[in-house]
Structure 1
Amino acid sequence: MTRALTTVPVLTAGAAVEVAAGLARRFAEGAADRDARRVLPVAELDELSASGLLAITVPVRYGGAGLPVAVVAEVVRLLATGDPNIAQIPHSHYAYIGQLRRNGTDAQQRELFGEVLAGRRFGNAQSEAGTKHVRDIRTTLTAVGDGHWRLDGRKFYATGALLAHRIPVLAHLGPDGPLHVAWVDRHADGVEVVDDWNGLGQRTTASGSVVLRGVDVPDSLITPYAVTFDGPQTYGAFAQVLHAAIDAGIARAALTEAAAFVRERSRPYPDAGVDRAADDPLVVHAFGELELAVRAGEALLAEAAGAIDRADAVLTADAARTGAALTVDAARTGAALTVDAARTGAALTVDAARTDAVALAGAASLAVAAARAATSRAAVDAGSRLFEVAGTRSAAAGLGLDRHWRNARTHTLHDPTAWKIQHLGRWAVDGTPPPNHGQA
């Protein structure tokens, strides 16, 4: 297991971006070698934890920085330019901090946010093999009395679980109960994390399978999950925008490394009549096309993150900061959002600006769909076309340039781009909002 960590610094927005940029440069130095030998980034991940970057979404009231999504997305994008494997590891960490912020009791938040501020990492155990689809969950918490539950199941694609301190596990509370999150210690009795991830890309994301055999979980470490989607929410959009940030980072890294290779190592094609490959007009044109696609993805990423922040300004429970008459009482009532007569199904409105929260949440999801589609295409194209612009020499296996395409091709499979475009198309044609299930 990784070394124990002390309390981490609480970073401002500017400091977070600066620290992320510095870490990205260091992580880039060994990225190709780690990929080639499938060496997990243990030391690098500890450095990331100690930097304070994994605590930037802890709310201010619990001692954290409470930084906006726009900053978090930029931090993840920068990290991905250095090593997208390292950038993907804390994806679920950030997502489940958001889940805890929405649905945890004050006592749960104090305990678990305190762990984050001490440098501890959350993994995930969500997806399951052999089920109908990604949202079909079979893992169950079974009551055993005295406020304790027995957790049994098997998960896969558990990114970050191998190097996590605590693993949030998605499970049904009872055989037919709603989905909840069990916050399980990585080394608790009955928890086994299997290092069996063998993807062609994103090879060092500390993913694998999580096997749960009779794990004891007290009430104090169980939070509601299904209620997150009972009303308008940005939980899903936040998780999705971080995926877009990873793809944007992959795209930028591929383009940057290709440009360096062309300047320093590529030979010009004789028919171009130039002394440097970098002066070949066909090569320059190809770089222009790639730069256009990457910039578009980066711009849509920034817009999507901003859209989430705007929606959060309405949905947040901090009425003093936003003027929203919103309270969260997920722990005892099972309701994710209670606003005046929210139990009646009435639409949520905000007092000051009379802004429609449903519309804002939908707009955020659509903005994220556009960002995901654009960054996915940019990452795959840049990872592939870098060989077209860099020439035969760039295909040497020892260079590891193929990792950019492999990383892009693997990571962009998380959610089909075609469905993002479907949601955008249905909105454009009929004004149909995206589904409220967390993957749109």
Structure 2
Amino acid sequence: MLDAGAAIEVATKIGRRLADGAAERDAERVLPAEEVDLLTSSGLLAITVPAEHGGPDLPTSVVTEVFRLLAAGDPSIAQIPHSHFVYVNALRHRGTPAQQAFFFGEVLAGKRFGNAQSEVGTAHVREHRTTLTPAADGGWLLNGEKGYSTGALFADWIPVLAHLGVDGPMHVAWVERSAPGMTIVDDWDGMGQRTTASGTVRLAGVRVDDARITPYHLTFEGPQTYGAFAQVLHAALDAGIARAALSEAAAFVTSRSRPYPDAGVQRHADDPLVVHAFGQMEVQVRACEALLAEAARAVDRANADLTEESAGRASLAVAAARASTTQASVEVSSRLFEVAGTRSALDGLNLHRHWRNARTHTLHDPAAWKVQHLGRHALDGVFPPNHGQV
């Protein structure tokens, strides 16, 4: 069982290992089954299991840094267990004692959770059509189709967000990967985050027992950090991308870039314009990393004393982190080419994967709305709305 220091150390080592093959996996879209197994065997996927169930129960600040370190190595692989951690958190808050004992035991035994939450073609991201309907002989039948199901292809259990009854309240149906009627399709073809396998999950008459259903709608009937926790992990992915882009830009500039003649230097890295550009990018990345760390601490503070105000302040801190990490990851991964020169644009180098990953992942939730929430609070003291995206 990993403590905080060990978790950071393990994540650092695995992140470096993931970086070695990241460009090749992206270019050839090699799904990282072995690498996901490595994450599982390392113990990192169990670090948020509550102490009363035999887990390390590590705080959000540690989990966030683990995600950032993994994402600096390969953000596609880092994104795969995102929903695993989110649904471990959901069980903590809404699972019955029996459900918690069973599923936390599964996590400690090395089982992985995926996700089947978002739907394609609905009016907006929080509209769902997937439904649990009563089965004639007891239990429920689950029918629907999900998209962007990151982690499902590698999961043992897939939490499915669905109405309990036609147009009923939202619940989570916990479905085994091998359940009859469930089909997982590897049809994700995004320009970035190419190896997350964020494809389609089809559900046709999947049987679900009452013991495998947890309420989702109740999560937002009072103060909560469920949304802030999920969002801060997304921010950590983007911070990792920003740091990786800056590090690879520096490695390229100091070893392969040629100086511009007007600079009058022998080494491109000694061009004062290049040095200044790297200083600006370093400031930008350090700033987003600092906001990320503070956001994670704000979530921990809210968890220790959960009120409307503490939850609201956590959401604001996370909104600031998401806005900052979005900007840093997209801008630094683009500016990489400005400082590295023409040769860096060669397709075979795959340096553009950093921008593709940043641009794809930052579309997950609009950063502009994070800024809106911050601005409204600055003007009128209004906290963000109480839902899972802030």
Q: In which range does the TM-score fall when normalised by the shorter chain? A: over 0.9
Residue 150 and residue 106 in structure 1: after superposition, are their counterparts in 2 closer, same or farther (change >3 A)?
same
Can you list the C-alpha shifts for 1:407-428, whole angstroms capped at 9, x where unaligned? 0000000001110000000000
Matches within 5 A, 1:105-120: 105-120=96-111
TM-score by length of 2: 0.99
Aligned match of 1:407: 357
For residue 287 of structure 1, what is the aligned residue in structure 2?
A: 278
Contact kept? 1:241, 1:301, Cα under 8 Å: yes
Quick one: distance in 2 between partners of 1:180 and 1:86? 28
Cα deviations by residue, 1:147-186 (Å, 9 ceiling, x for unpaired)? 4100000000000111111100000100021100000001
Partner residue of 1:433?
383
Unmatched tracts of structure 2, length 5 or more: none
Match of 1:90 in 2: 81
Matches within 5 A, 1:240-259: 240-259=231-250
Hey, what's the Cα distance between the residues in 1 that align with 2:157 and 2:16? 28
User: Residues 307-326 of structure 1 correspond to what in structure 2 (within 5 A)?
Assistant: 307-315=298-306
Rounded to whole Å, the distance in 1 between the matches of 2:137 and 2:277 is 66
Aligned partner of residue 180 in structure 1, secondary structure: strand
- Match for residue 146 of structure 2 among 148, 155, 164: 155
- Structure 1 match to 2:202: 211
What is the TM-score normalised by the length of structure 1? 0.88
Aligned counterpart, 1:417:
367
Does 1:66 find its partner at 2:16? no
What's 1:319 paired with?
none
Give the whole-Å Cα distance in 2 for the aligned partners of 1:146 and 1:368: 46
Contact 2:187 2:197 in 1 (8 A): no
Q: Name 1:359's counterpart in structure 2.
A: 309
Mapped contact 1:147–1:219 kept (Cα < 8 A): no
Q: Secondary structure at the match of 1:135?
A: coil
Give the Cα–Cα distance (whole angstroms) in 1 for the partners of residues 29 and 204 of structure 2. Answer: 28
Equivalent residue letter for 2:361: H
Q: What residue number does 2:158 align with?
A: 167
How far residue 130 of structure 1 moved from its aligned partner, in angstroms, is 1.2
Aligned equivalent of 2:262: 271
In 1, the alpha carbon distance for the partners of 2:383 and 2:290 equals 22
How much does 1:206 deviate? 1.9
**Alignment of 1:130 onto 2:121:** yes
Q: Which residue is 1:28 aligned to?
A: 19
Q: Deviations over 1:176-220 (max 9, x none)?
A: 211000000011000000011000000000210000000000001
**Distance in 2 between residues matched to 1:45 and 1:271, nearest whole Å:** 48
What amino acid maps onto 2:85 in structure 1? Y
Q: Distance in 2 between matches of 1:147 and 1:368?
A: 43
Selected match of 1:373 from 318, 323, 330: 323
Structure 1 distance, partners of 2:313, 2:289, is: 18
Partners of 1:244 and 1:274 in 2: CA distance: 38
8 Å contact from structure 1 (residues 143, 149) kept in 2: yes
* 1:381-392 correspondence runs (5 A): 381-392=331-342
Supply the distance in 1 between the matched residues of 2:118 and 2:354 (Cα, whole angstroms). Answer: 25
